Chain A
């Protein structure tokens, strides 16, 4: 009996090893196609690439340039790219139209403080709508957390060494005179997005109250912040400032126990 079982168990072990190897290879080796605009709002993506921050996170990222958000979002919806830094307003329009997009991080936005005196709130929100956010399609959660971690590191670099970072950016942007008055924030900031969603009147009647929340994945940003804070970022002032502004549901209760749940969370 043992002589029959041995080859079977050996074959089973080899199969398991093969499946594991294929699975690991698929996860770690797959190239992520990241769309961007030739616009300073996409700068965090460009810097993360130029400074090797994606690679440092174990990601292989290929940048794909788009002339406008419309074509980029179409490519994202069609699965031709995995994620992209595109205009918030147009991204929301696509989400309202039924596209399954996840907003996982913020980007660069022209500050409303630059508006001439007397400009109203609508004009400020219009600027918000032109600002860039990182939207993703069906990319897995771990890759998204790593992707956003790299963007947060790029943001840190931009805050700590702005001149050097902009010099790098100017080499990457085709626009010879990019607008430098851009406010960068990797936080997707649900309430900022919700304000624009309301202003654009995208909620409509009959749509579930949590429709927008189901497309804004702040937990990805929160996980990325936690991950960086656990590393060398605990005393990092830029990281602390980002953490102080983020509204993240706290984890709790990591008490040793033998009966951890096998149920995992849903889409959010």
Chain B
């Protein structure tokens, strides 16, 4: 019996090898956030290989390290926030945005006894408050953008305390040394679970459909091998459909890949829906983000970042998928979303 099992195992490994053999390879870097889960779905369900690309995933804890690896040609694709690639591009890195991975996701946490004071749908509740954040994180840039849109001069009316890590932000809120803190997933869920802290607001309540992690690649590679990147995005489009229609299996795939508590992933992904895993490039969102970075004083240069955004590969991939399944509701919605945001 054992011999048969071994034979079957060897046969399946060989088949797997043959199946992936000869396909163009992409090394893809990501950071461990639940909303980056489309990669794991596409991998687990075989969508990458179906599309004709062999993808190897590499996890990074640092966006700077990840982008440095991309720049050095050690990665072919990177998903490392929006701030970091824009900063690299502004300093001359030849990256191109080709897609997205996460929309929204950042939250403002506080101690439970402060929740009532910070409730409501108006950002004015944060006037005069001391808020901890990780400088240049997505939450930092977008929250300041939201405050500006609401007519609040955050430089005068809010005191921001810059912390070195999201763990320090949670600690400061928990100790009560600040009134609130800006954190990203899964840290607000962990803060609720481990310290009893509460989410006062998700930033998306004030700033709908803002960009978080974007998919970037080296411009020269995108131009030289457009077809491989189209295959890659085709797989992510199919993974998005799976994520929207198979919650239970998706949660299991995310949990297995990220080693994060299954219930936290379920809550964030399908109950509270704190972020959307979406491969759309969101060109308008990237340009808006860049403007917010300039307004916050993080970049003083006027650089035309638009020439580093390629939406056509994603559009071609989406069109090809829709051509195969023209009546699929999810794909039609993706097309409408694309038209609105690009």
Contact = CB atoms under 8 A, between A and B. Distances in A.
Interface of A: 190-191, 194, 208-213, 219, 226, 229-230, 234, 240, 243-244, 247-268
A252 B72 contact: no
A250 B136 contact: yes
A248 B136 contact: yes
B91 A254 contact: no
Contact of A249 (B71, B72, B84): B84
Nearest to B66: A265
B164 A226 contact: yes
Interface residues of B, number: 51
B92 A213 contact: yes
Given A250-B83, A256-B259, A263 B63 contact: no
A266 to B, nearest CB: 2
A252 B61 contact: yes
Please give me the 6 A-B residue pairs with the lowest Cβ-Cβ distance, nearest first. A266-B72, A210-B92, A265-B68, A209-B92, A213-B91, A261-B58
A159 B168 CA distance: 26
A210 B87 CA distance: 12
A210 B94 CA distance: 8
Contacts of B184: 252-253
A255 B67 contact: no
B135 A263 contact: no
Given A191-B301, A265-B68, A267-B72, A255 B186 contact: yes
Contacts of B69: 261, 263-266
B258 interface: yes
Contacts of A262: 58
A254 to B, nearest CB: 5
Given A247-B298, A252-B137, A266-B73, 7 more contacts: A229-B164, A249-B83, A250-B83, A250-B137, A251-B64, A261-B58, A261-B59
A257 B65 CA distance: 17
B317 to A, nearest CB: 26
B14 interface: no
B312 interface: no
Contacts of A229: 164
A261 B29 contact: yes
A83 B33 CA distance: 39
A209 B259 CA distance: 40
B227 interface: no
21 contacts: A210-B94, A213-B91, A219-B64, A247-B136, A249-B67, A249-B84, A249-B87, A250-B84, A251-B165, A252-B33, A255-B33, A255-B259, A259-B257, A261-B59, A261-B69, A264-B65, A265-B67, A265-B74, A266-B72, A266-B73, A267-B72
B31 A244 contact: no
A186 B162 CA distance: 19
B135 A248 contact: yes
Interface of B: 27, 29, 31-33, 58-69, 71-75, 81, 83-84, 87-88, 91-94, 134-137, 162, 164-168, 184, 186, 257-260, 298-301
Contacts of A208: 92, 94
Given A248-B136, A249-B83, A263-B74, A254 B65 contact: no
Contact of B71 (A243, A259, A266): A266
B135 A253 contact: no
B58 A263 contact: yes
A249 B162 contact: no
Nearest to B60: A261
B92 A212 contact: yes
B259 A267 contact: no
A102 to B, nearest CB: 14
B166 A252 contact: yes
B65 A253 contact: no
A193 B165 CA distance: 28
Contacts of B186: 255
The listed residue with most B CB atoms (<10 A of its CB), out of A243, A248, A255, A264, is A255
B68 A268 contact: yes
B172 to A, nearest CB: 9
Contacts of A244: 135, 162
A264 B73 CA distance: 11
Contacts of A247: 87, 136, 298-299
B159 to A, nearest CB: 12
Nearest to B184: A252
B71 A268 contact: yes
Contact of A260 (B61, B74, B93, B298): B61
A263 to B, nearest CB: 5
